[in-house]
Structure 1
């Protein structure tokens, strides 16, 4: 696969990471590394927050586990697609439209203009109910190994933003391509969540501002609309193809 095609996914992760620290289904969970006070009680997106004296290694381990889960999911999705699910031209086209419509929905979700993706997050609660009890023996996250395990589990928390990226990963048509796509997406979210882990509430207040969310939403929305434009025309858009998140079938 073309490595340059991963850049748009990285940008989607970067722009969408404002969602990770804002409202998600009306709830935001904050885990405090090294403190047993915080316990996740519902389907939330958790952010590993470290006090100034916290250990950077634990923050990196937490995010490494989270991105590892994304890559695993992307590898499975891409592998299934490559095994035959998307070999029919009609299914490829339908998948391409759906992936870009999900990006449009994500952009609107980030701007808080339409919260349809919240229904998808609710649909994923069944899996999370089975995984959530595994967190109990891992809290507090007072070692890098615990943080890695918690991050790995938290990668499966219901999240419309991850689902949007996962559809794009599926369109890569191979396990390696799908894992690489989700790695690029996860790395895009890393700067914001690392900053949250080190700066805590100070950064959170800035990134939850409405102008920041709108800017991120507009960028993701633009990627989706560009992909739909290419699908509607059925032709290459020249150099703009480099900005399309989903590979054309």
Structure 2
């Protein structure tokens, strides 16, 4: 029996998480600063989302933007963030780290230990690795339940053939979730080309600011907001249902 495809929405705010839920998403990846690839949300956001969102929520554990090479202090921060997520009752966390040579950092085992019974997704650090096949083997060795990947490409459609190879390599040992640049307009093609059963996107749309006064000199402080759209989430779910 074929598995029902699942849709995870990357939500950078409570509003986006609620839109994902209303639109029928199966799971939320909660983060902040989507523009820089996502970082760990504040405690306040974590607490309020956990109170108000009923579908499963996995929290991105990433202390900063940029590369995935972390020092001991970064690992300490990530372990404490994982402990916070566990204490608040989240369903899982999203982790990932590489060493300077581009291979999965063995210290990820410490993050797995901190996660305990939480579900664990390994994030797109795999796409920055020196060898995706070796990285997938290492991630499976850690015991992660899934890995998010664009196949090492700028988006999942461009990396679809690589993702398909990772799906075959993984077999039933780990879930391979396709993500990056996925929208309702290309999701059916990504499904067809990858053979994956889990898909990840932000479903973002621009929400115009309600500010009546705007200082037009502040070009670096754009007032409009990007957040997940209920309609786009529904459209993506419809593609998976078709």
TM over 0.5: no
Where relative contact order (Cα < 8 A, 6+ residues apart) is larger, the structure is 1
Report which of the two has the higher share of helix: 1
Q: TM-score, normalised by structure 1?
A: 0.25
Report which of the two has the higher share of strand: 2
